[in-house]
Structure 1
Amino acid sequence: MRAIAGEGTWAAAGLAAVVVGALAWRSATAPTAGEALARVAADLAVGSGWIVGLNVLLAPLGAHVGWNPATAWLAGGLGLPGVLALALLAVMARWQP
C-alpha cells in the first residue's frame, strides 16, 4: 500500500497549519494586519529565547527541546505555561521506556 504523502509533505502541511493558526489567533484581537504580524514575530522572538534558556536548564538531564517555528510560537504565545509543557514533554520523551 502506498502512502498518500511522504513525511516531508506532512511536516510542511503541519507547519503551514501552525502559521495560519498563529496568524488567525493574533489577528482576532489586532486592529491591523501589520500589528498581527508584529505580534506573531514577537511571539517567535520571545519563544526562541525561552527555548534557548530551557535547553540550557535541561542539558544536565540529557533532555532538550528542538527549535522550530511551532515550538517557538507555543513558548512565546503561551509564556511560562507553554514553556513548562514543553519541558515536561522533553523530560518524558527522554525517559520513555
Structure 2
Amino acid sequence: MEPVPLPGHHAARSEQIVGALLDLARAEHGIRTTSAVDLADFARDAIAITSAEALRRGVSVVSRLDTAPVTGDPTLLRQLATNLGLTLVIGLPLGTKTPGSQ
C-alpha cells in the first residue's frame, strides 16, 4: 500500500503531534526538570506555533499577556500551552474572532 501524501498544513500538523508525543514520552520516563519559568512566554510560543492554522481557518487570536511566573517542568508546561492553543484554534468555528480582535 502506497503512503498517501498529506497537504502541507496536515504534514506540518503531523510533525507537531509527533514532536509533542516525543516530549511527553521523555517527560514520562523521568527526564524531568523543575525550574522557574514564565508561562506567558510559552503562551506566546503557542500562539506563534498555531498562527498558520489560525490563518488557514480564518480565526483571529489576540492576546494580552502579563508575566506569569510558575515553577514546573518546562517541557510539560510548553506542551500544555501548545495544546491549549491548538485546541482553541481547531475548536473554534471558521472565521471566529476572539475577544479583542479587529
TM-score, scaled relative to structure 2: 0.37
**Structure with more of its chain in strand, by fraction:** 2
Pick 1 or 2: higher relative contact order, CA cutoff 8 A, min separation 6.
2
TM-score, scaled relative to structure 1: 0.38
**Structure with more of its chain in helix, by fraction:** 1
